């Protein structure tokens, strides 16, 4: 009980006691604080760089030659011309030929929505307990029937090849 009647502990004495009691704890060294002048110098450099970019963009937009001050700050860099691949050029030409761009865009959006919806429908059917097995059996049965009907005998196989060639020529 004598310990409970001792003098009140201050914060610094508590910290000293906890530091001496926990000799096994490791602490990281404190990082030195950045001097105010260094951070101001960094901010000044960043603002000067942004101003240089703005001047360059303005000069390129107006067609003026860059000022002598900008040229002396840094040596001029060689900019590599970036060209779009030919596919983008052909797509852009085809897009420029389209008369009803609203209808084409609507069809594209509808196709994306239908693709997402059908994907959701297929995944929902696949989660049903009995349906995937039944559909697999139906697929195996239809594949067997198709092979028996069109691939086993030579006259049916030739008729199938002629039919495929006819559809190919119609499409092309």
What tokens does 9 get?
């502990």
What tokens does 154 get?
């030579």
Put simply, whether the predicted model's pTM sits higher than 0.85 gets the answer no
What tokens does 41 get?
């110098």
Whole-number pLDDT of residue 15: 55
Least confident of 57-71, 128-142, 143-157: 57-71
| Residue listed under structure tokens 């196709």 | 111
Where would I find the H helices in the chain? Answer: 11-21, 36-62, 68-73, 86-97, 101-127, 131-150, 154-171
Whole-number pLDDT of residue 70: 46
Whole-number pLDDT of residue 32: 66
What are 44-64's pLDDT values in tens digits?
677 777 777 767 766 666 766
pLDDT tier at 133 (50, 70, 90 boundaries)? Answer: confident
State the Cα–Cα distance between residues 169 and 162, nearest whole angstrom: 11
Whole-number pLDDT of residue 101: 87
């Amino acid at each position: 009980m004598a310990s409970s009647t001792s003098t009140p502990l201050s914060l610094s004495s508590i910290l000293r006691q906890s530091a001496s009691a926990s000799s096994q704890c490791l602490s990281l060294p404190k990082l030195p604080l950045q001097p105010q002048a260094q951070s101001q110098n960094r901010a000044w450099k960043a603002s000067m760089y942004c101003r240089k970019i703005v001047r360059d963009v303005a000069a390129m937009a107006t067609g003026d030659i860059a000022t002598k001050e900008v040229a002396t700050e840094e040596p001029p860099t060689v900019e590599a011309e970036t060209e779009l691949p030919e596919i983008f050029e052909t797509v852009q030409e085809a897009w420029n030929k389209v008369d009803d761009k609203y209808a084409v865009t609507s069809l594209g959006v509808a196709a994306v929505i239908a693709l997402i919806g059908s994907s959701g429908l297929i995944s929902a059917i696949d989660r049903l307990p009995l349906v995937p097995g039944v559909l697999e059996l139906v697929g195996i049965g239809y594949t067997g029937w198709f092979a028996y009907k069109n691939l086993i005998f030579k006259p049916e196989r030739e008729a199938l090849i002629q039919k495929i060639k006819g559809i190919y020529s119609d499409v092309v």
